[in-house]
Structure 1
Amino acid sequence: MIQNCRNALFARVSRVRRDERGVTLSELIVTIALMTMLLAMVMTIFITFTRTFADERSATSNTAGATVAMNELTRVIRAGTPIPKGPSLPNDPVFSYAAANQIVLQAYLDTDAADPEPVKVEFLITSDRTLVERRWTAIKSGGLFTFQPAVASERTVVRQISNGTTPVFRYFNASNIELEPPAGGQLTAAQRNAVAAVKISMTVQTDPSGRAKTASIENTVGIPNLDLSRIGIDR
């Protein structure tokens, strides 16, 4: 269609060049109409291509963001470790807070260090659906660890986590039974002590128009440092 319009337009221009009498009003109107049609077709193709490219780029961004977030969550949770409080006291559990959109735990992340220290980490889904990571550094006294009260670092891991019906964090014991938070919204101390795995589910949509394909990712992360049998836990 575009080729036919272009040929007709060129033919009329060539005829005008050969005919010194110029063009009639009807010929001018037809020429303008053909040019308008050609311009409309070109603009339609350009807009369609631009929109498709933007949607594909947003879909790629969704996938990359979800992958980065899942890798960081998996790395930290898998390194979760109980912290000893003393010879006659029970260990601090891995999780000091556990809810559907927030998790706080202790973990040994720098295991290559000569004298590794634990770090306290919080992952929080904020009201604008942003995954934020906060960390607290350890204080060592008499061979035991506590944590600084002030936040040592804070960063945004990924934005625009969709507000779906599935919680971002779900908790399971060694028998693969889900530990559901009571009415208060967070696990009790007894439930936190029983957590053997965390199931992470998230869907990321960074495109404000919602046209781009979302990225949904799910993973069940065990905690090897608990020395619990993994039999029966989904992987």
Structure 2
Amino acid sequence: MGVRFHKMHGLGNDFVVIDARVAPVALSEPQVRAIADRRTGVGCDQLILVETSTVADARMRIFNADGGEVGACGNATRCVARLLGEDVRIETLAGILHGKTNGTGATIDMGQPRFNWETIPLAYAMDTRDMPVGWEGLERPTAANVGNPHVIFFVPDTYAVALDAIGPVIETDPLFPERVNVNIATVRTRNAIDLRVWERGVGLTQACGTGACATAVAAIRLGLAGGPVTVTLPGGDLIIDWKPGETIRMTGPATHVYSGEIDTGWLG
């Protein structure tokens, strides 16, 4: 017996999307890891389950490649919005997100960012605007939670940082009890930022929607940028618009690559 899926991506951040609204699907962490494996499975950064919801048009559950469930994924939300329709409300662990498609992509209202140390969360109290911490030359980051916890470092050249080496160190530091996504950003102009992201449970990705949101919000909060901000990731551009006290609006592409069927017999 097989499970139908859609392979989709947002700027190269790729997903296996399973519509479980008609026939519920239950997957264990090892099964998610097996599907996400790029050599022996379908391959993806995240596996997405679309389920029925009593409070929105659908419920979206997000599982990282390591099998762990997380609260939000901006790129996946755009992809699910494209699957569901032109104007949709999507229930997530981070709240209900509103999406509007625009032909090749979607605009998502990602809700309000959170900055209190308890809501990042951090292990102990500190100023999340200017954190008095550092790792191997990366110092005094800022933090935000946009459905997922993010720490952001502003540096002269994002590509000069060995993010594949330092990313997992920061991700698993005891300061972050739920682990953290690591963003390395360079502000080019007040409306343009270069960004690379180490995603918790995934690693280096071509794009990270919540990372782009967190980074743009952090830059605006620090007075380094003004919205709307074009955030350029290795996979392409996202446009992030935010004003203090308002919700974050993220606009970008969402691509349907193919549909298929997973033979569940090998999953165990």
For the superposition of Structure 1 and Structure 2, which TM-score range results when normalised by the shorter chain? under 0.3
TM-score under structure 2 length normalisation: 0.21
User: Per residue, is there more helix in 1 or in 2?
Assistant: 1
Higher strand proportion, which one?
A: 2
- In our comparison, the structure showing a higher alpha carbon Rg is 1
With structure 1 as the length reference, what TM-score do the two structures score?
0.23
